Amino acid sequence: MNAVLTGASSGIGHALARELARRGYAVALLARREALLDALARDINARGGRALPIACDVTDRASVHDAVARAERDLGPIDLAVANAGVSVPNSAATFSLADAELIMNVNYHGMLYLYDAVIRSMMERRTGTFAGVASLAGLRGLPGAGSYSASKAAMQNFLEAARVELRPYGVRVAIVNPGFVATPMTEKNRFRMPFLMNADDAALAIANGLAKGKRVIEFPRPMSLLVRLLRVLPDALFDRATVPYARRRLDRDKVKR
Ligand SMILES: NC(=O)c1ccc[n+]([C@@H]2O[C@H](COP(=O)([O-])OP(=O)(O)OC[C@H]3O[C@@H](n4cnc5c(N)ncnc54)[C@H](OP(=O)(O)O)[C@@H]3O)[C@@H](O)[C@H]2O)c1
C-alpha cells in the first residue's frame, strides 16, 4: 500500500507519516523543508519501513503534480493521499491582511485541490483509493479572530463532502479530518488557553484508525468535537453573544502586536 502525505515535515503530518509507515504503508513525504523530510525518511527506513522524501510547495500546482508523479514512479500507484499541509496566521476581520488571507487559502484549500487533481483520476480508473483532507473543527463555524482560517477549512470540508458522495460509485473513499487543538509548531505560538489540547502522536493515531475504519468524518478529541457541534447548531444571536468577549480579547491582542 502506498501513501502520499503533504505537510510531513512537522506536527500532525510528521506523526501521521510514522504511524502510516508502522502500519505497512510506503509513504511519500511532501513538504518544503527537505532536511526535515530527509531526517524523517531516514528514521522510518531505519525502522524497516519505506519512505520517500520529496520537496514540494503545495501552492504550486506543477510542484504537486511532479511530486505525485515521482511518488508513483518510485513507489507505485497511490492508495491513500492525505492533504495535510496547512498554515494558520492570526487574521481577524478588524485587523485584516489580504496577503495573509490569500496565503491561508492558497496553502490550505488550493494546496488540497492540487493534490486531489494529481491523484484522483488514477484512483477512479483503478476503482480504489482514499483521499483525505485534514481540515479542522474551526471550519464548522466562522470563528472570530480566525475567519480566513475557518473559511479555508470550511471550503475543504464542503469540497470533500461533495466529492465523497460523487466518488462512491467509482470505489474511491473520501475522508474529512477535523482535529481540535493539537500541540504542534502551528499551535505553540498561541497565547490563549487551548481546551482539550492533545499531542500529535494521539492525533495521528486517531486519523490512522479512522482511515482504517473507512470513516467519512474523523473528528477528535470527542469533547471538543461535541462542543463545536453544539456551537454549530446555536442560533446566530446566541453564537454572537457567546463569542463576542473572545473576539474583543483577540482584537486587543492583535492591536498590541501591530
Ligand atoms: N495543530 C492543530 O491544533 C490543528 C487543529 C486543526 C487542524 N489542523 C490542521 O492540521 C494540519 C497540520 O497542522 P500542524 O498543526 O501539524 O502544523 P505544522 O506543524 O505547522 O505543520 C504544517 C505542515 O504544513 C507544511 N506546509 C506549510 N506550507 C506549505 C507549503 N506551501 N507547501 C508544502 N507544505 C507546506 C509544513 O511544511 P514546510 O514548512 O516544510 O513546507 C508543515 O509540514 C494543517 O492543515 C492544520 O490546519 C491543526
Contact 186, 86 (CB under 8 A): yes
Place of cell 515521482: 70
For residue 124, is it left (φ>0), alpha (ψ between -120 and 50) or beta? alpha
For the domain that residue 252 is a member of, what is the CATH number?
3.40.50.720
* Residue of 109, 114, 116, 149 marked active site: 149
For the chain, give the mean pLDDT.
95
Q: The domain containing residue 78 runs over which residues? A: 2-257
- Cβ atoms within 10 A of the Cβ of 161, count? 14
Per-residue pLDDT at 256 exceeds 50: no
| pLDDT band at residue 102 using 50, 70 and 90 as cut-offs | very high
CB 211 within 8 A of CB 218: yes
Tell me the per-residue pLDDT of 110-145, one tens digit each, with 9 for 90 and over.
999 999 999 999 999 999 999 999 999 999 999 998
pLDDT, one tens digit per residue, over 5-50 is 999 999 999 999 999 999 999 999 999 999 999 999 999 999 999 9
Q: Which of 32, 156, 197 to mutate to test the pocket of ligand 1 (most atoms within 8 A of CB)?
A: 32
48: left (phi over 0), alpha (psi -120 to 50) or beta: left
**Separation CA 35–CA 32 (nearest Å):** 9
Nearest residue by C-alpha to atom 46 in ligand 1 = 86
Ligand 1 site, residue 88, Cβ cutoff 6 A: yes
Q: Among this protein's residues, is 114 annotated catalytic? A: no
pLDDT number for residue 250: 63
Q: Which residue, judged by its Cα, is nearest atom 43 of ligand 1?
A: 7
Instruction: Please tell me if the CB atom of residue 168 comes closer than 6 angstroms to any atom of ligand 1.
Output: no
The C-alpha atoms of residue 232 and residue 62 are separated, in whole angstroms, by 37
Mutate to test the pocket of ligand 1, among 5, 140, 184, 193 (most ligand atoms within 8 A of CB): 184
How many whole angstroms separate alpha carbon 37 and alpha carbon 133? 20
For residue 19, which of 211, 179, 224 has the smallest C-alpha distance? 211
Whole-angstrom Cα distance, residue 138 to residue 131?
20
Atom of ligand 1 nearest to the CA of 200: 16
Q: Give the count of domains, the chain.
A: 1
Cite the DSSP H helix spans in 76-146: 98-104, 111-126
CA 176 to chain centre: 9
Kindly state the helix (H) or strand (E) to which residue 249 belongs, with its residue range. helix 236-257
Cα 10 to averaged position of ligand 1 atoms, centre (Å):
7
Percentage of the chain surpassing pLDDT 70?
Answer: 95
**Whole-number Å distance between alpha carbons of 143 and 18:** 32
Within 10 A of 179 (CB to CB), how many other CB atoms are there? 23
CA-angle at 31, arms to 111 and 196, nearest 5°: 80
- Band of pLDDT at residue 258, cut at 50, 70 and 90: very low
